[in-house]
Amino acid sequence: MAMHWRAPRGPKLSCKGWQQEGILRLLLNTLDSEVAYRPEEFLVYGSGKAVRDRRSLEEIVRALLDLEDHETLVIQSGRGVAVFPTHPLAPRVIMSTGMLVPRWATWEEFRTLERKGLTIYGQNTAAAWAYVGTQGPLQGTYETFAAVARQHFGGSLAGRWVLTAGLGALGAAQPLAVTMNGGVLLGVEVDGRTLQHLLRKNILDMVAPDLDTALAAVRQAVAERRPLAVGLEGNAGDVYPELVRRGAIPDVVTDLTAAHDPLDGYVPAGLTLDQAARLRERDPEDYVKRSLRTIAVQVQAMLDMARHGAVAFDYGNNLREQAAREGVRDALRIPGFVQAYLRPLLAQGRGPFRWVALSGDPEDIYKIDQWLLEGSAAQDPIASRWLRFARDHLWFQGLPARVCWLDYESRVQFGRLVNEAVAAGRLQAPIAITRDLLDVGAMASPRRETEGMPDGSDPIADWPVLNALLNASGGATLVCLGHGGSVGIGYSIHAGMTVIADGTPAMGERLERILAADAGLGLLRLDRAGYPGAAAPVRRYGIRPVGEDGP
């Protein structure tokens, strides 16, 4: 039986304060059918869950409704633990998700514990209750393809075609990101229902009935230098090598399937979705073996394409690592997208900053868009270009939200601007300020965010732990630590935070502390690692580093 959740709207409180109310609304919004992948299973995207089960959800909701302004709710892997007396400046919610002692941090051990009902896999923003739908990863995806265009094609993807696979929750950002950069996309997706959904949403321009039709449409659009997004139902393990056999080599090849989880996130070649579901239930060990074999075939095809001139990169789903474990030589020579394309932005203090209108009224978001365009974003071509596009072309899923990669100084200014607007009644209700977990100061992910650090500190995991501690000390409304991210168990530790701008003077002070510390730690992480470009923003923004050396 389907279950439906929807966040309350408007200025009326359900909880005893806006800090609690904001978190409640974000939790329910994460499970809204407009936002979540399979809300009836508490799956938000990929294999990431928001809570452990229905009972856990109901208990957490009741706790938030009763939570006082001097109390903190503790969440362990999607299930409430207890409410403790703290103080008004402490977080209202702290959580840790999927954390395992390193010796036991394997998928096999995790699944054993998960089957016992002891933990969940929370992805990045699912268990942190900060997911806002396709817009969440869209700007980062757009900026990635823009960087690909700058580095390899003179600044535009016009007349170029991009091959990718996986158009689910996160992957759905790829068609728009490619066409926004002027290119042509061929997206392979195993689930035909996903393709039809994206077609109805105008994210795809067409769904091809077969590979011949898809290639004909791609080639015509490339010849005309016309943006186009084509979806094709199929398995990447079949389609990628077939393209190599035909000599149909894309200009760019990547992948955004949930390959980090070969059991629940990837479908082996040769199986329908129904057959895959039955095998997953009947013989999970065999299923994983088949998935890994398919991943190996897909990555080998990507390497073959690269040898024929394609620009190949890993999109942070641990595809390369899985293939390398299966014996694919040179799999790890495919670069990761953060190291190759996004780190210059991160070194400016930029990151996947986002805010949510708790009123439920899109006008609150549009007002903030305009204030930014007239203020801090006016001299920022990256932010202003994105905000104009987002305002004119993007849709909202669940509570209206906006994602924008603001730099360090703009984030601090943003908190002040929004809190004052709430206090003055220019916005209908408080604003939840949060982010994705791509910020390098909040991540330790050697196959993604922290890959290729100049000093070799890729696996140092102190930084996300420090991020969580610092945000809790500063008074964020929600602080979380997680394990696995988008790359899988054993490959990532990450931290998240949310703060509710409720218009009070006390929150104004907290916002300045929190946003400065959250972004500043990322700059320091890159500076300490010796990344070129990070030292100048550290000095410019007046961050006070201690010492000169060390990871």
pLDDT level of residue 547 (50, 70, 90 thresholds): confident
- The H or E element containing residue 55 is helix 54-66
Q: pLDDT (tens digit, 9 = 90+) per residue, 178-201?
A: 999 999 999 999 999 999 999 998
Number of H helices, E strands in the chain: 19, 17
Q: What is the mean pLDDT of the chain?
A: 93
Token couple for 261: 């989880």
Q: Taking a C-beta distance cutoff of 8 angstroms, is the pair 173, 217 a contact?
A: no
Q: Taking a C-beta distance cutoff of 8 angstroms, is the pair 265, 257 a contact?
A: yes
Distance CA 207, CA 231 (A): 5
> In the predicted model, is pLDDT for residue 283 greater than 50?
yes
How many CB atoms are closer than 10 A to CB 197?
Answer: 15
Share of the chain above pLDDT 90, in %: 80
> In the predicted model, is pLDDT for residue 171 greater than 70?
yes
Distance CA 456, CA 453 (A): 5
> In the predicted model, is pLDDT for residue 18 greater than 70?
yes
- Decide: residue 424, CB within 10 A, 0-12 exposed, 13-18 middle, 19+ buried: exposed
Token couple for 431: 């604003």
Q: Phi, psi (5° rounding) for residue 336?
A: -85, 150
Confidence (pLDDT) at 275? 96
Token couple for 91: 């977080």
Using CA atoms, how far residue 491 sits from 257, 313, 459, 478, in Å, is 17, 18, 9, 24
- Catalytically active residues are 404
**Stretch 402-413: mean pLDDT:** 91
> In the predicted model, is pLDDT for residue 28 greater than 70?
yes
CA angle 524, 526, 529 (to 5 degrees): 105
The domain ranges of the chain are 14-129+351-542, 135-342
Q: Which of 209, 130, 133 is nearest to 176 (CA)?
A: 133
> Could you confirm whether domain 14-129+351-542 is CATH 3.60.20.10?
no
Q: Taking a C-beta distance cutoff of 8 angstroms, is the pair 199, 175 a contact?
A: no
* 45 strand-pairing partners: 48
Confidence (pLDDT) at 537? 85
Q: pLDDT (tens digit, 9 = 90+) per residue, 502-521?
A: 999 999 999 999 999 999 99
Rounded to a whole number of angstroms, the distance between the first and last alpha carbons of the chain is 51
**Stretch 344-357: mean pLDDT:** 88
Distance CA 397, CA 34 (A): 5
pLDDT level of residue 458 (50, 70, 90 thresholds): very high
List CB contacts of 368: < 8 A, sequence separation 6 or more: 355, 402, 417, 418, 421, 427, 431
**Stretch 535-550: mean pLDDT:** 77
List CB contacts of 259: < 8 A, sequence separation 6 or more: 166, 265, 266, 291, 295, 317, 318, 319, 322
Q: pLDDT (tens digit, 9 = 90+) per residue, 304-323?
A: 999 999 999 999 888 999 99
Confidence (pLDDT) at 550? 43
Q: pLDDT (tens digit, 9 = 90+) per residue, 486-501?
A: 889 999 999 999 999 9
The string of DSSP letters for 60-95 reads HHHHHHH--TTEEEEEETTEEEEEEE--TTS-SEEE
List CB contacts of 546: < 8 A, sequence separation 6 or more: none
**Stretch 527-535: mean pLDDT:** 87
Question: Which pTM value belongs to this model?
Answer: 0.89
Distance CA 368, CA 418 (A): 8
Q: Taking a C-beta distance cutoff of 8 angstroms, is the pair 222, 160 a contact?
A: yes
Confidence (pLDDT) at 444? 95
Distance CA 368, CA 404 (A): 11
Q: pLDDT (tens digit, 9 = 90+) per residue, 83-105?
A: 999 999 999 999 999 999 999 99
> In the predicted model, is pLDDT for residue 548 greater than 80?
no
- Decide: residue 231, CB within 10 A, 0-12 exposed, 13-18 middle, 19+ buried: buried
What angle, 0 to 180 degrees and rounded to 10, lies between the N-to-C axes of helices 505-528 and 408-423? 170
> In the predicted model, is pLDDT for residue 80 greater than 60?
yes
Helices in 234-347 by DSSP H: which ranges? 236-246, 273-282, 284-307, 319-325, 337, 343-346
Confidence (pLDDT) at 3? 65
Confidence (pLDDT) at 381? 85
Distance CA 199, CA 215 (A): 18
pLDDT level of residue 541 (50, 70, 90 thresholds): confident
Domain range 135-342, CATH class: alpha beta
Q: Taking a C-beta distance cutoff of 8 angstroms, is the pair 387, 163 a contact?
A: no
Q: How far is CA 330 from the centre of its chain?
A: 27
Distance CA 255, CA 259 (A): 9
Q: pLDDT (tens digit, 9 = 90+) per residue, 249-274?
A: 999 999 999 898 999 889 999 999 99
Phi-psi group of 354: left, alpha or beta (phi > 0 → left; psi -120 to 50 → alpha; rest → beta): beta
Strands, sheet with 228-233, edge to edge from the N-terminal-most edge strand: 206-208, 228-233, 184-189, 161-165, 252-253, 311-312
**Which of 170-184, 242-256, 323-337, 537-551 comes out lowest in average pLDDT?**
537-551
CA dihedral 37, 142, 529, 450 (to 10 degrees): 30
Confidence (pLDDT) at 551? 44
Confidence (pLDDT) at 1? 40
Confidence (pLDDT) at 454? 92
Distance CA 544, CA 550 (A): 15
